[in-house]
Chains A and B, each alone.
Chain A
Amino acid sequence: MESLSNKKKVLEQKPLSFMERMYLPAIAKGMGITISHLFKKEATIRYPEVEREFSTNFRGMHSLKRDENGKERCTACGLCALSCPAEAITMIAAERKPEEKDLYREEKYAATYEINMLRCIFCGLCEEACPKEAIYLDGPIVPADYLRKDFIYGKDKLVEAPLEMKK
C-alpha cells in the first residue's frame, strides 16, 4: 500500500554476498575500529581522587544561609515544607529571646529544621518558595550512609558556618 507520510522505508533482505559470507573483510574492519579506541582518551573520571565539575545550576545538598551579620535568615514560615513535593522538610518554630538577637534575623526562627535526604528529590522548589533567601541547594552530593536515621539532616549539618569560621 502507498504510504501516506512517505516516511516508510522498505528494507530488502538480500542473501549475503560472497564477500559477506567470508566474514573476514567485515571482521578486519571491526578490529580496526576497536584498535583505534585503544589510543583514545578514556572517559573515566577516577572519582574519589578526581571529581567531575558540576554545572552552574547543579542542585546538591541544601544549606541554610546567614545574612551579612552572620544571623540565620530562616524565619520558619514553613513555605519550603509546604512547597516540597516529596514532603522531606519538617521544622519547629520558636520565638526569638532578646539575648538571641545576634543569632536570628527575624523574631521567629526554626528551632529544629530537618530534611530527609532519602525523600528529597532535589527539585529546588524550596529554594524558589523561600521569601527570605534562606535555603539554597548549592552544596555537594549528599554522601551515602548505612542507616536511614542518618539521612535525616538537622540544623547541625544544614546551617552555613558562621562568618568568622568561614574566614
Chain B
Amino acid sequence: MDSAFVIEKFILVAVIFGISLVIAMYSTYAERKVAAYLQDRLGPDRAGPFGILQPLADGVKMFMKEEIIPTSSNRFLFIAGPGLALLCACIGTAVIPWGSPVLIAGKTVSLQVADINVGVLYIFGVVSLGVYGVMIGGWASNNKYSLLSAIRAASQNISYEIAMGLSIIALLLMTNTLSLKEIVDQQHGWRWNVLYQPLGFLIFMVCSFAETNRAPFDLPECETELIGGYHTEYSSMKLGFYLFAEYINMFVSSAVMAALYWGGYNYPGMDSMAVWLGPTWAPLFGTAVFFAKICAFIFFFMWVRWTIPRFRYDQLMNLGWKGLIPLAIANIIITGVVIAIIEKF
C-alpha cells in the first residue's frame, strides 16, 4: 500500500465527514425554514442574512448548556449512547459512491472511500446498528418514558428492516451485485432503477422513513406521549449528538435511495457532457447532480414531516407487517417471474 493511496483516502474521508456534518447542520436550518414556509411563516431570520448562521448559534447554545447526568442513570452507557448513535450514522457514508473516478493531476481518484463487494449489506448492518444508540440511551436514562421509547424504536426498526431487506432483494435480482458502485454504474444515463422497480422504491422509501425515525414514523420521540422519548434525560451536546445523528441518518438514507434507485451520479446526457467537460469536471458535475438528488430527498423528508400526522402504534405495526412485507414479497415474485421470462425468450 503506497502512501499516496493512504493520503488520498484520508483526504476523501475527511472531506466526506466534513460534508456530511455540514449538511446535517444545515438540515436543521432547512427543516425550520421548510416548516416555516409550509406554514406561511418566515422561520429563523435573525442570525446573519436570512438566518444563515442559525446552526452555528444553535451549536454554541448546545455546547454552553448545562450538562445533566441523572444520578440514577447508568453513567457509562448514558455517555456511550449518543456517541454510538452519531458513530453509526457517520460510518454509513463510507461505501456510498459519490461520483465516478476523477482525473486530478494525472491521477485517477475514486470518489468512494471503500468499494466493498457487499456494500448494500454493509449499509444495512450500519443502519441496524444505529438503533443501539437509541436503545442504550433510552435504557441508561432509567426513565420510563425513555425506556418505552427505546422499546418502540427497537421493535419499529426490526419490523421495517424486514420489508426493507425484502424490497432490496427484488432490486438485487435485477442488478446481480451487492456492490453499490456497480449498481450505480449499471444505471448509466437514463436507466434508473426506479423506472423498473417503482413498487420496490416505494417500499424502500417508506421503510427508510421508519428506520430514520422520521415523521410519520417518529414514535420513539413523540412529544405528546413520551415527552422527548429516548432523549428526555439528555441535555447539552449529548442531546445535540442525538439530534445530529438523526439528520446524518436522513442524509445517508437519502444518499442510499438516490444511489440505489435514482441513478446516483448518472443523469441523462452524461456522455455528451463527459466529452464537453473533460475527465476532471464531468465526474465532479455528476457528483453535484448526486448531491442535488440527495437534497431533493432531504426536502422530501421534511415535506412529509410537515404534512402527515404521526401513525398510531398499532397502525405502524399493521402497515409494516400486513402491508409492506406482503407487498415486498409480491414484488420479489413478480420481478423473479419477469426476469425468468425475459431470459427464456
**Chain A residues near B (Cβ < 8 Å):** 23, 27, 30-31, 33-35, 37-38, 40-44, 46
Select which of B42, B303, B307, B308 is within 8 A of A42 by beta carbon: B42
Contact B41 A35 (CB under 8 A): no
* A33 CA to B40 CA, complexed, in Å: 12
Contact A41 B307 (CB under 8 A): no
Select which of B38, B42, B45 is within 8 A of A34 by beta carbon: B38
Tally of chain B residues near chain A (CB < 8 A): 14
Contact A37 B42 (CB under 8 A): no
- Is B3 part of the binding interface, using a Cβ–Cβ cutoff of 8 Å? no
Contacts of A27 in B (CB 8 A): 307-308
**Chain B residues near A (Cβ < 8 Å):** 36-42, 45, 303-304, 306-308, 319
Contact A44 B307 (CB under 8 A): no
* A46 CA to B306 CA, complexed, in Å: 23
* A41 CA to B303 CA, complexed, in Å: 18
Other CB < 8 Å A-B pairs besides A42-B40, A42-B42, 13 of them? A23-B319, A27-B307, A27-B308, A30-B307, A31-B303, A33-B307, A34-B38, A35-B38, A38-B38, A41-B40, A44-B40, A44-B41, A44-B42
* A43 CA to B40 CA, complexed, in Å: 6
Contact A37 B40 (CB under 8 A): yes
Contact sample, A vs B, 6 pairs, CB 8 Å cutoff: A27-B307, A31-B307, A37-B38, A42-B37, A42-B42, A46-B42
Select which of B40, B42, B307 is within 8 A of A40 by beta carbon: B40
* A34 CA to B306 CA, complexed, in Å: 8
Contacts of B42 in A (CB 8 A): 42, 44, 46
A49 to nearest B CB, angstroms? Answer: 10
Closest chain A residue, CB of each to CB of B45: A46
* A153 CA to B38 CA, complexed, in Å: 43
Closest chain B residue, CB of each to CB of A22: B323
Closest chain A residue, CB of each to CB of B311: A23
Contact A43 B41 (CB under 8 A): yes
Contacts of A34 in B (CB 8 A): 38, 303, 306-307
* A38 CA to B299 CA, complexed, in Å: 12
* A33 CA to B307 CA, complexed, in Å: 9
A122 to nearest B CB, angstroms? Answer: 28
Closest chain B residue, CB of each to CB of A44: B42
Select which of B39, B304, B308, B319 is within 8 A of A37 by beta carbon: B39
* A27 CA to B39 CA, complexed, in Å: 17
A20 to nearest B CB, angstroms? Answer: 12
Contacts of A46 in B (CB 8 A): 42, 45
